């Protein structure tokens, strides 16, 4: 199954993509996670991306398209993927179309996670992630069992540098300007569905599964 998760930062795309990977075995392809890993390694990609990510701006399209092209060609993504954080601009969406067409692949569903700006701000400013594997927590909505420690691997939790209030504001502006047109780009296609992203993780997960099922039935 080839899926795209769209929505503002903090809408829950990463949390839901990870759940789908764990429970359904569809690989999560998160460009944000890939960039953060590259930055932690100090690789060439990481060095190029660092300034943009830290300012809450977008990494240039040509860089991101090359990253995704290489990632989707890897064996685990050959039979399906959940794109989380890509495409974020119209040129990225157009490049993805070309890439999939060339590979003879099709999108099965594009899920748009719909959430109010107010909830987005509350979610982002309370978000903490584990240093080891990026498991996501929220001080209020999804707290870890032990303060400051990941439930899964026990590693230390930290706040993403770009979840600071000034940067969050910038990321939301960039989202409205660059990524909302991408939502409109896919909305006109048959594969598009809106998911109500308010509420708890398991509730949203059930809506995600139901939406994917409906899409698959319509396709069959
Ligand atoms: P995320 O974890 O998806 O919120 O991404 C974190 C940051 O990585 C973003 O604020 C951007 O700076 C960068 N980034 C992630 N995905 C993309 C993309 N598709 N295009 C450009 N920049 C991206």
pLDDT given at position 161:
86
Token duo for residue 178: 């660059």
171 catalytic residue (yes or no): yes
What is the 3-class SS of the chain, one letter each residue? CEEEEEECCCCCHHHHHHHHHHHHCCCEEEHHHHHHHHHHHCCHHHHHHHHHHHHCCCCCHHHHHHHHHHHHCCHHHCCCEEEECCCCCHHHHHHHHHHHHHCCCCCCEEEEEECCHHHHHHHHHCEEEECCCCCEEECCCECCCCCCECCCCCCEEECCHHHCHHHHHHHHHHHHHHHHHHHHHHHCCCCEEEEECCCCHHHHHHHHHHHHHHHHHHHC
Same domain? For 197 and 133 the reply is no
pLDDT at position 218, please?
83
Residue range of the domain that includes 138:
116-158
Choosing from 18, 36, 123, 171, which is the catalytic residue? Answer: 171
Which CATH number fits the domain that encloses residue 199?
A: 3.40.50.300
Cis peptide before 188 (omega within 30 of 0): no
Q: Which of 158, 184, 209 is the last residue of a domain?
A: 158
**Pairs from 187-194 (Cβ < 8 Å, separation ≥ 24):** 187/112, 189/107, 189/110, 190/218, 191/107, 191/108, 191/109, 191/110, 191/215, 192/110, 192/112, 193/109, 193/110, 193/111, 193/112, 194/111, 194/112, 194/114
All residues at 6 or more sequence positions from 180 whose CB lies less than 8 Å from its CB, including other chains? none
Active site residue 106: no
- How much distance in Å is there from the Cα of 97 to the middle of ligand 1? 19
Residues 133 and 107 in one domain: no
Same domain for 128 and 19, yes or no, is no
* Mutational pocket test of ligand 1: of 8, 16, 28, 31, the residue with most ligand atoms within 8 Å of the beta carbon: 31
**Ligand 1 atom having least distance to the Cα of 92:** 19
Catalytic residue among 36, 88, 207, 215: 88
Concerning whether 160 is annotated as a catalytic residue, the answer is yes
Query: 169 and 193: one domain?
Result: yes
Q: What is the pLDDT along the chain (220 residues), one digit of tens a residue?
A: 999 999 999 999 999 999 999 999 999 999 999 999 999 999 999 999 999 999 999 999 999 999 999 999 999 998 899 999 999 999 999 999 999 999 999 999 999 999 998 899 889 889 999 999 899 999 988 999 999 999 999 999 999 889 988 899 999 999 999 999 999 999 999 899 999 999 999 999 999 999 999 998 887 7
Task: Please tell me the predicted confidence (pLDDT) of residue 220.
Answer: 73
Mutational test site, ligand 1, from 36, 51, 88, max ligand atoms within 8 Å of CB: 88
The crossing angle, in degrees rounded to 10, of helices 44-55 and 31-41 is 120
141 and 169 co-located in one domain = no
User: Is residue 123 located within the same domain as residue 210?
Assistant: no
Amino acid 166: pLDDT? 84
């Amino acid at each position: 199954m080839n899926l795209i998760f769209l929505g503002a930062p903090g809408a829950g795309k990463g949390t839901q993509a990870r759940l789908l990977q764990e429970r359904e075995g569809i690989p999560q392809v998160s460009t944000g996670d890939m960039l953060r890993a590259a930055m932690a390694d100090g690789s060439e990609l990481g060095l190029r991306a660092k300034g943009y990510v830290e300012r809450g701006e977008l990494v240039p399209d040509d860089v991101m398209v090359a990253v995704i092209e290489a990632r989707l060609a890897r064996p685990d993504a050959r039979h399906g993927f959940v794109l989380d954080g890509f495409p974020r601009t119209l040129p990225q969406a157009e490049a993805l179309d070309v890439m999939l067409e060339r590979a003879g692949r099709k999108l099965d569903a594009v899920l748009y996670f719909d959430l109010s700006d107010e909830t987005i701000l509350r979610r982002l400013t309370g978000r903490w992630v584990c240093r080891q594997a990026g498991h996501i927590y929220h001080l209020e909505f999804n707290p870890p069992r032990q303060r400051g420690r990941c439930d899964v691997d026990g590693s230390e939790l930290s706040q993403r540098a770009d979840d600071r209030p000034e940067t969050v504001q910038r990321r939301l502006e960039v989202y409205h300007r660059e990524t909302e047109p991408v939502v409109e780009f896919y909305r006109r296609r048959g594969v598009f569905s809106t998911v109500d992203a308010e509420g708890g993780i398991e509730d949203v997960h059930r809506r995600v599964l139901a939406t994917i099922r409906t899409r698959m039935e319509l396709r069959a």
